[in-house]
Structure 1
Amino acid sequence: MQAKTVIGHSTLDKLILFGGLPVAGLVLGFFLPRFADWAVTKPWMPWKRILEVIGHGDAWWVVLICTVVGGLAGLLLGAIALDDTLKVTITHERVEFLKNEQTLVVPREKVSVAFLDGKQIVLLDATSKELAREKHDQLKGEAKQIPQAFRAHGYPWTDSDPYESRFRRWVEDEPELPPTVNALLKARARSFDDDKGKADLRELRDEVIKLGFTVKDRDKKQYWRPTTPN
C-alpha cells in the first residue's frame, strides 16, 4: 500500500508546462523579428514603431532578445498554469489540497463521507458540514483515480451526495433562512460577475458554513441546505 497518493501535478503535466511552453516561446521569439518585418508593411497594423524596432534588419541582438524573452514567457506561463492546478495529496492520516499557494488540510478522523459533485471533491463530517469542496483538474478518463485513491486509503467514499435531496435553490430574502445568511448569499450572488469573484465566493461560502448552512453553485445559481445537527 502506498504511503500517499498524489492527484494532479503529474510528471507529464510538468513536462508539458515546463518543457513544451518554453520551447514554443523560444520558437515564437526566434521568428518574431521576421513577422514584425512583414507586419510593418501593412497599413492597418498597430504599434508600427515597436514593430520597426523588432524587425530591424537582421540584427542578431534583436533575434537573441526576442528568443530569450519568448522562452522566459513560456516558463512564466507554465508556472502560472501549474500553480492554478489543484494538487491533492491523500494519506491514511489526512487529505491535503494545494492550489494557488493556498493549502487546506483535512484530518482523516474528521471525514465522515467523501464524494464527487461534478468536478468538485467534497468531504463532509458526521454533521454533514463541508470540510472541503475543491474543483479538480483531471480529464474525464483520469477522474476515476480519485475515488480509487480515497478508498485505497480507507476513506468512506460514496458515488453521490447523500444530502443532495435537501438542497434548495436560493431566492433573495429566503424566509427560511436567517437574515445574516440571506445577506451573505446576496453578496455571493453579486460576486459571480465580479473580477475578484472566486476569492469572495469561497470566503462568503465559508461564512455561511459557520452559521450552520451549506451552499453550492450551479450555473451561477446558489443552492443551500441546513447542516444536520449533532
Structure 2
Amino acid sequence: MRDGWQPAAATTVDGGGEELAVMWGGFPLAGAGAGWALVAAADWVTGLRWAPWQGLFELLARQPPRPAAAVAAAIGLAAGLLLAGVGTRERLIVAVDREQVRLRRDGAERSVPRRPVSAVFCDRKHLVVLGSAGEELARERGDLSRERLRDAFAGHGWPWQDVDPHDAAYRRWVEGLPGLPAGADALLRARQRAVDRDRRRDARELRTELARLGVVVRDQDRRQYWRTVTLPLRREEFSDGQ
C-alpha cells in the first residue's frame, strides 16, 4: 500500500523511483553546476558586448572566484531542491481497481467510479476518462507511461481506447462560429486569453464552466478544439485538466 490511499487490489501507476531520483538527484546537481558555470564564465561573457545581463556578469567577475563560485553553486543547489519539491507535489499518481480510479496530485485526491465510464485514453500528455454521454469525468496532465496506464485500466476491465473515440467530432474554435450553446463563445474567448498567457488555473476553471454547458474542449498548439455532448440529468464534476 502506497501512503495508505489506494485500495488493496488497486494497480498503481506513477513515475516510480527513477522519476524521484531525477528530481531529487538531477535537479539539485544541475542547479549547482549551472551556478558554478555562471561564475566561471563571467570574465569571458563580459567581453561579449552583445551578450545580455552584462551588469550581472560584470558584478560576478569582480568577486573572488572561489567564494563567488561556492555561493552561486549553493544558490543553484537550493533552486534545484525547490524545483524537485514542486515536481514531487505535482506528480500524478493513478490507482485503479475494478470499482474506481483514484487520482492523486499535490496532496489532493479524487475518485471516479467505474459505472458511468465509457472510455479511458491518453490525449497527448493527459489521461482522460469519459462518461456515458461522452462528457469528461477526468482530465489529468502527467508524464505517465501510456503502456502502463493501458495495462492497468484494461487489466481491471475498464474500456481503454488507444485513441479518443470522439476525435472526429472536434471543431477548431473560431469566434462567432455557429453551433455552440448560448454563452459558450464568450467562455471560449476568455479561455483562449488564459491559454495564450499560460494561466492554467483560469483555463481549468473555464473548462469546467464549458462542461456545464455541454461543451468539451481540448488544446493543441495553443488552439482550442471543441465538441458538444448531451449531459445526463445528474453528473459529478471530476475534470481538472487545463
The TM-score bracket by the shorter chain reads: 0.7 to 0.9
Question: 1:205 maps to which residue?
Answer: 207
Q: 1:145 maps to which residue?
A: 148
Residue 159 of structure 2 aligns with an amino acid whose one-letter code is P
Separation in 1, partners of 2:79, 2:139: 32
CA distance in 2, matches of 1:218, 1:43: 39
Alignment length (residue pairs): 226
The residue aligned with 2:236 is: none
- What do you get for the CA RMSD once the two structures are aligned? 3.2
Give the percent of matched residue pairs that are identical in Structure 1 and Structure 2.
36
In the alignment, which of 74, 87, 90 is matched to residue 93 of structure 2?
87
The residue matched to 1:105 in structure 2 has which SS?
strand
Aligned to 2:228: 225
By how many angstroms is 1:125 displaced? 1.9
The CA distance in 2 between the partners of 1:118 and 1:208, in whole Å, is 21
Structure 1 match to 2:238 = none
1:74 and 1:166 mapped to 2: Cα distance?
43
Matched, 1:8 2:14: yes
| Change over 3 Å in CA distance of 1:217–1:25 after alignment to 2 | closer
C-alpha separation between the residues in 2 aligned to 1:59 and 1:177? 63
Which among 24, 29, 35 is matched to residue 29 of structure 1? Answer: 35
Cα distance, 1:170–1:145 mapped onto 2, change above 3 Å: same
Contact 1:168 1:224 in 2 (8 A): yes
Q: Which has the larger radius of gyration?
A: 1
Q: 120-129 vs 81-90, which deviates more?
A: 81-90
Give the distance between the partners of 1:79 and 1:119, measured in 2 at CA: 21
Superposed CA deviations along residues 185-218 of structure 1, whole A, max 9, x for unmatched, are 232233331241x222221111121123322233
CA distance in 1, matches of 2:215, 2:56: 56
> What is the aligned partner in structure 1 of residue 216 from structure 2?
214
Encode CA deviations 1:58-93: one digit per residue, 9 max, x unaligned: 565434322322211221232334445433333344
Q: What is the match of residue 179 of structure 1?
A: 182
CA deviations on 1:152-195 (whole Å, 9 max, x unpaired) are: 23322233333334434444334433322232223223333124
Shift of 1:18: 0.9
Q: 1:74 aligns with which of 55, 62, 80?
A: 80
Say yes or no: does 1:127 pair with 2:137. no
Q: Is the 8 A contact 1:213 1:227 kept in 2?
A: no
8 Å CA contact 2:102, 2:109 repeated in 1? yes
> Which residue of structure 2 aligns with residue 64 of structure 1?
70
Q: What amino acid sits opposite 1:14 in the alignment?
A: L
Once the two structures are superposed, what CA deviation does each residue of 1:31-69 show, in whole Å capped at 9, x if it has no partner? 544333454566666666654654456565434322322
Structure 1's unaligned 5+ residue stretches are: none
Q: Could you report, residue by residue, the CA deviation over 1:121-164 in whole angstroms, capped at 9, with x for unpaired residues?
A: 211222322101223314xxx42111111112332223333333
